[in-house]
Structure 1
Amino acid sequence: MATRSRSRASARGSSGNSEGSAFSWGNQAGTLALAAVAGAAVGLAANFGRKLMVQGIAGKAGAWDEVLHMEHETVLALFDQIQATSDDQVRTRTHLLAKIKAALGKHALQEENVIYPALREFNNAHDADALNGEHGYVKTFLYELENSDPASTDWLAKVRTFRAMLEEHIRMEEDEVFPALKAGLDEAGNAKLGAAMLKEGMKLA
């Protein structure tokens, strides 16, 4: 009887170890799964927080120009990073260019579908058409950079030319066109413009 009991205990111990081993692996898999979920949650939270920040700024009466200024600064900061790279940092250059393209895509959508039409309505079709036309050059620069060798010195030179053109475009918007549009609208008009711009931008945010 004692021998049989020891055998049963031994069997249970062996089974317990086997189950323990499987459970240990399950814990590892579960931990990895939880880490992945947690990582995704952090990413979503960061994205949501960024959206809330933009919403908070745009929610202020007449703050649409502040949102556009913030986006301009974000893009120029990305240009700072890409211009600081060396020719052997191909992956970094490609990644930063993709971020610039995404940021400018959202920005252009807001301006082309909300701000520039408002300029035309405000009897400023000349500036609206000029700025809209420059967006075509932005798309051309992005296309050419995406389809050329990031490891070449010429590639970075084109980035610098692109930035110079973009800075002039931004200067015209922030120093001349946008202030005139904002001053010509009342508080309700600016708030309506900001809400429309935010709604358009959230499509690609």
Structure 2
Amino acid sequence: MATSFSSDRFFKSPAGLLGAAAAGFAVGMAANFSRKAIVQGITAAQGDWDEGLKAEHRMTLKLFDAIEACEPRQTKKRAALLVQLQHALGKHAFEEENVVYPAMRDHGQIEEADRLVHDHGYVKQYLFDLSEMSSGDPQWIGKLRAFRGEIEEHIRIEEEELFPRLREALGDEGNAHITAVMNKAGMAAA
């Protein structure tokens, strides 16, 4: 005798609800892991830690470009791009503050690392201020451009001065280690 499946009866039973919840949880976890792998995969594909961070710098500047390309009336698009910028910079800061800057301190770049952490405080301030303002406010785009100028100077100092010094101080084995640890941190923050 064939039995028919009744979703109504299945979801009303405790076992059915528990099974559906477990399946939903598993699907959600898999989707989250896949998203994290894609986000961090872009950085990891660049090779060493400094190249990964440079790629993230370029992606950040592209987000600024996209925001600045919006018409003033495209407030929802500006706001959505600002959220993407917040996430990208949050992940990036997590990698630097938890891996790269401590390595800088360990290799004699203490004041420099502290300055970069200090800069990150202002990044958070800019992001907060921009998220609190209406993206249609005429002052919003000016604040965004000032923020971009600060970011570009931060990037220049890291890429041209500080990261090359750290890379040299670490040697091949140290660079490989920092790359692995940074990618793990990036995966956690993604």
TM-score range with shorter-chain normalisation?
0.7 to 0.9
What is the match of residue 162 of structure 1?
147
What is the match of residue 189 of structure 1?
174
Instruction: Report the more deviating stretch, 43-52 or 78-87.
Output: 43-52
| 1:136 and 2:125 correspond | no
For 2:96, the aligned partner's letter is: E
Question: What value does the CA root-mean-square deviation take over the aligned residues?
Answer: 1.9
| 1:56 and 2:45 correspond | yes
Cα distance in 2, alignment partners of residues 204 and 140 from structure 1: 20
SS in structure 2 opposite 1:203? helix
What is the match of residue 59 of structure 2?
74
What is the match of residue 107 of structure 1?
92
SS in structure 2 opposite 1:87? coil
**Conserved in 1, the CA contact under 8 Å of 2:60 and 2:89?**
yes
Structure 2 unaligned regions, length at least 5: 1-29
**Count of matched residue positions in the alignment of Structure 1 and Structure 2:** 161
How far apart are 1:44 and its partner, in Å? 7.7
Return closer, same or farther for 1:141/1:49 CA change in 2, 3 Å cut-off.
Answer: closer
How far apart are 1:54 and its partner, in Å? 3.1
Structure ID, larger Rg? 1
Query: What does residue range 1-205 of structure 1 map to in structure 2 within 5 Å?
Result: 48-58=37-47, 63-205=48-190
Q: Percent identity?
A: 42
Structure 1 unaligned regions, length at least 5: 1-40
How far apart are 1:163 and its partner, in Å? 0.1
How far apart are 1:78 and its partner, in Å? 0.4
TM-score computed with the length of structure 2 as normaliser: 0.79
**Conserved in 1, the CA contact under 8 Å of 2:135 and 2:141?**
yes
Task: Output one character per residue of 1:46-79: Cα deviation in whole Å (capped at 9) or x when no partner.
Answer: 7644543433334xxxx10000000000000000
